[in-house]
């Protein structure tokens, strides 16, 4: 039991590292898509065009009220039957995580936009700036800086949620760990310790980075 050579060898460690790679890849895709979608959803919710605002609100509140695991299962098992296309686990996982996180990002962005001092906006309007210019030059930059901490926290959550895609078979970090201890000598505990350490390092570092960004932008 004290000899961990079966775990700490080049092949197995490379295999596990590959899992971390897939985890990060999945998170990166989801972060990118959910950020764009989240900003658009937030703008949609804030829009004065009623139907748009209602649809955006329904999507946001609906997604936020559901477990992300349900969204993942839905994307992998149910969605293909609706759109008639069979989805790869990675694609389904990416869609699920993006769609889910977009709703949460939308709320963060909306709070950020609403926190921009109205006085600034009014001043710019009286100077003749158009709605689009105000959005681009004043609102979004201020709001983005303000919501950095919340966004980073959300992305840490996203990194953790990638582990849930293990259940639809994506060979990310958690799943590869399971495969390793399903082989001789069948010792789960050292594997779990290693996997937990990797997640901890990744998420803790991300959290610290967020904290540093927060103090820099204040």
Burial 134-170 (b: 16+ CB within 10 A, else e): bbeebbbebbeebbbbbbbebbbebbebbbbbbebeb
Interface residue with other proteins among 21, 58, 77, 115 (CB under 8 A) is 77
Comparison of 4 and 69: residue with beta carbon closer to other proteins: 69
Of 171, 215, 133, the residue nearest 20 (C-alpha): 171
- Find the radius of gyration of the CA atoms of the chain: 21
Asked if residue 172 lies in contact with residue 26, where contact means CB atoms within 8 angstroms, the answer is: yes
Interface residue with other proteins among 4, 33, 121, 144 (CB under 8 A) is 33
Interface residue with other proteins among 22, 26, 27, 43 (CB under 8 A) is 43
Interface residue with other proteins among 3, 5, 14, 127 (CB under 8 A) is 14
Residue 105 interacts with other proteins (CB under 8 A): yes or no: no
Residue 95 interacts with other proteins (CB under 8 A): yes or no: yes
Tell me which residues in 122-141 interact with other proteins (CB under 8 A): 130-132, 135
Tell me which residues in 106-125 interact with other proteins (CB under 8 A): none
Comparison of 37 and 147: residue with beta carbon closer to other proteins: 37
Of 4, 18, 2, the residue nearest 174 (C-alpha): 18
Closest approach of other proteins to the CB of residue 123, in Å: 19
Interface residue with other proteins among 150, 151, 166, 170 (CB under 8 A) is 166
How many residues touch other proteins (CB under 8 A)? 74
Residue 204 interacts with other proteins (CB under 8 A): yes or no: yes
Residue 218 interacts with other proteins (CB under 8 A): yes or no: no
Residue 5 interacts with other proteins (CB under 8 A): yes or no: no
Interface residue with other proteins among 4, 15, 24, 145 (CB under 8 A) is 15
Give all strands (DSSP E) within 87-212, no chain letters: none
Query: How big is the CA angle at 198 (ends 196 and 200), to the nearest 5 degrees?
Result: 65
Phi, psi of 67 (to 5 degrees): -70, 140
Comparison of 12 and 213: residue with beta carbon closer to other proteins: 12
State the greatest distance between any 2 C-alpha atoms of the chain, in Å, as a whole number: 74
**Within 13 A of 88's CA, how many CA atoms are on the CB side?**
6
């Amino acid at each position: 039991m004290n000899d961990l050579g079966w775990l700490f060898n080049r092949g197995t460690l490379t295999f596990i590292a590959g899992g971390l790679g897939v985890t990060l890849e999945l998170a990166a895709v989801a972060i990118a898509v959910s950020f764009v979608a989240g900003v658009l959803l937030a703008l949609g919710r804030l829009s004065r065009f009623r139907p748009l605002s209602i649809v955006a609100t329904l999507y946001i509140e609906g997604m936020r009220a559901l477990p992300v695991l349900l969204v993942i299962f839905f994307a992998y098992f149910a969605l293909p039957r609706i759109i008639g296309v069979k989805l790869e686990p990675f694609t389904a996982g990416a869609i699920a995580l993006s769609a889910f996180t977009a709703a949460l990002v939308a709320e963060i962005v909306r709070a950020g936009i609403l926190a921009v001092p109205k006085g600034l906006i009014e001043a710019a309007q009286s100077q003749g700036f158009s709605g689009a210019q105000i959005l681009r030059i004043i609102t979004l930059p201020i709001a983005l800086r303000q919501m950095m901490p919340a966004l980073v926290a959300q992305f840490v959550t996203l990194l953790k949620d990638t582990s849930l895609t293990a259940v639809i078979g994506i060979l990310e970090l958690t799943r590869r760990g399971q495969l390793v201890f399903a082989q001789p000598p069948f010792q789960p505990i050292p594997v779990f310790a290693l996997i937990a350490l990797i997640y901890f390092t990744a998420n803790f570092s991300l959290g610290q980075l967020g904290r540093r960004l927060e103090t820099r932008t204040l």
